[in-house]
């Protein structure tokens, strides 16, 4: 059972990856016993499966995903939410209020208005219908503070790290709360804008260097360095302003 590439080698769509006994995994397809790549990415495999780690892709909604959405429109029975996917999601009023909805009485824009960000979970989604959301679980709901940033969804696992090591490192070093949506949106909220800036810098660094190893240590190191230098810089700036 031949394999035609080395692990972590860059492949392009249509590249022949392997033959016969392997199963076709992520970003590959099988035809006549041959496995080809469907996306630009890094080749990889285990005992059974051949797969490609895509370098760029977009979010596809899956049931159970926690995502960060932005309200696009308020309708009579609920909200239309942009979830950074090819499909817009619906959040019905009954999935946001824990009681029966009275369309005339309930003020939906007071809950979520156009432009509001929300942490939500996808409860239903298939080929024929647009995804449905809920905000009735713990940890879900409106985003009231912090900053959001967007990254390629394929890099989300890297931001979380093995058993959450990377995300814990960022949280500990910056003191920020970081909420990651599966759709590539991230909310960062900290005590000061400076903390948030540091956390965002770290995430951007992960995005840029997602393909390298030993990244967690480097990110921690970078954050410590930044934190150490910062007060000195601020002092000199303030002095410059005063004079």
Partner 1 sequence: MSQKKPEKLIDEKDIRYDGRKLNELRPVKIEVGILGNADGSAYIEQGKNRILAAVYGPREIHPKHQALPDRAALRCRYHMAPFSVQERKSPAPSRREVEISKVMREALEPSVFTEYYPRTAIDLFVEVLQADGGTRCAGITVASLALADAGIPMRDLVSACAAGKVEGRIVLDLNDVEDKYSDGADMPMAYMPNLNAITLLQMDGMLTAEEFEQALNLGVEGCKQISQIQKDAVRAKYVTAKETAPEKEEDEGDKEANE
Locate tokens 């410590």: which residue? 224
**Span 82-111, contacts to partner 1 by CB under 8 A:** 86-88
Q: Least distance to partner 1 from the beta carbon of 158, Å?
A: 12
| CA 87 to chain CA mean position, Å | 16
Locate tokens 């009681």: which residue? 99
Tokens of 128: 């024929």
| 149-161 CB burial, b ≥16 within 10 A, e <16 | eebbbbbbebbbb
Q: Least distance to partner 1 from the beta carbon of 139, Å?
A: 28
Q: Please name which of 65, 68, 55 lies closest in space to residue 185, comparing C-alpha atoms.
A: 68
Question: 51: buried, middle or exposed (CB in 10 Å: 19+, 13-18, 0-12)?
Answer: buried
Residue 3 binds to partner 1 (criterion: CB under 8 A): no
Using the rule CB under 8 A, which residue among 102, 127, 145, 241 binds partner 1? 127
DSSP 3: B
Residue 115 binds to partner 1 (criterion: CB under 8 A): no
Spatial distance between the Cα atoms of 238 and 23, rounded to a whole number of angstroms: 62
Q: Per CB under 8 A, which region of 131-139, 165-173, 176-184, 212-220 contacts partner 1?
A: 212-220
Q: How many residues bind partner 1 (CB under 8 A)?
A: 35
Contacts of 238 (CB under 8 A, 6+ apart): none
Nearer to partner 1, 184 or 190 (CB): 184
Using the rule CB under 8 A, which residue among 40, 97, 179, 201 binds partner 1? 40
Residue 233 binds to partner 1 (criterion: CB under 8 A): no
Residue 214 binds to partner 1 (criterion: CB under 8 A): yes
> Interface with partner 1 by CB under 8 A: which residues?
8-10, 12-16, 27, 29, 36, 38-40, 42, 54-58, 60, 86-88, 127-128, 152, 207-209, 211-214, 218
């Amino acid at each position: 059972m031949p394999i035609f590439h080395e692990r972590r080698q860059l492949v392009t769509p249509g590249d022949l990856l392997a033959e016969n006994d392997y199963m076709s995994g992520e970003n590959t397809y099988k035809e006549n016993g041959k496995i080809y790549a469907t996306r630009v990415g890094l080749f990889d495999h285990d005992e059974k499966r051949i797969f490609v780690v895509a370098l760029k892709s977009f979010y596809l909604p899956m049931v159970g995903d926690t995502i960060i959405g932005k309200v696009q429109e308020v309708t009579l029975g609920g909200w239309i939410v942009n979830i950074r996917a090819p499909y817009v999601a619906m959040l019905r009023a009954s999935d946001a209020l824990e009681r029966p909805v009275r369309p005339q009485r309930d003020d939906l824009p007071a809950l979520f208005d156009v432009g509001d960000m929300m942490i939500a979970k996808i409860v239903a989604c298939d080929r024929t219908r647009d995804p449905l959301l809920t905000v009735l679980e713990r940890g879900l709901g409106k985003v009231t503070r912090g900053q959001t940033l967007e990254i390629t969804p394929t890099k989300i696992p890297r931001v979380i790290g093995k058993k959450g090591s990377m995300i814990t490192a960022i949280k500990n070093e910056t003191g920020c709360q970081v909420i990651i949506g599966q759709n590539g949106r991230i909310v960062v909220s900290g005590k000061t804008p400076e903390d948030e800036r540091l956390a965002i810098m770290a995430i951007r660094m992960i995005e840029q260097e997602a393909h390298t190893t030993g990244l967690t240590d480097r990110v921690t190191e970078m954050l410590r360095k930044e934190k150490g230098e910062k007060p000195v810089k601020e002092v000199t700036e303030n002095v410059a302003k005063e004079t």
